[in-house]
Amino acid sequence: MSTLMNARAGGTINTCRFVVPDTSHANGAIQASDGTHLPLGIAQQAGRLRPDPAFTSTQVLEAAEVGEVIGIYPPGSVGVGLLCNAAWSAGDLLMSDSTGQGVVATTGKFYGARAEGPGTVGAICPVTVITGLLP
């Protein structure tokens, strides 16, 4: 893995999901919701930690909430965990689905990673962060 870059979360961003620019803030990022935007990278793997009795089980899966700093693995990062939502094979180019999870990229969409090995649905799988557009 490489050094995280930081951005301001423009909404809730879950761990191990694709992240795209948030146009409402100069240094903003939001969780990706499709393959129509070039990804900045993949959200950090560490969830939010807070010693608060009101902390919910859902919040442990969040990398950041709106206004917080989000760590993002940028292009060139290797061995980054991406949540798999549809099986893939080693070498496949991956894009975001509607929840920021990885799926095999399709024609005319932006990809954000290359699979380092097979992807198992529901698992966090290692990828290399790269970006581009499938013609």
Per-residue pLDDT tens listing for the chain (135 residues)? 568 999 999 999 999 999 999 999 989 999 999 999 999 999 998 766 655 666 676 776 788 989 999 999 999 999 999 999 999 999 999 999 999 999 999 999 999 999 999 999 999 999 999 999 998
3-state secondary structure of 45: coil
Write the CB contacts of 107 (distance below 8 Å, at least 6 apart in sequence). 134, 135
pLDDT number for residue 3: 83
pLDDT number for residue 51: 57
| C-alpha pair distances (Å), 83 with each of 54, 67, 73, 88, 113 | 26, 23, 14, 11, 12
pLDDT number for residue 45: 85
Give 86's DSSP letter: S
pLDDT number for residue 50: 59
**5-9 and 69-73 strand pairing:** antiparallel
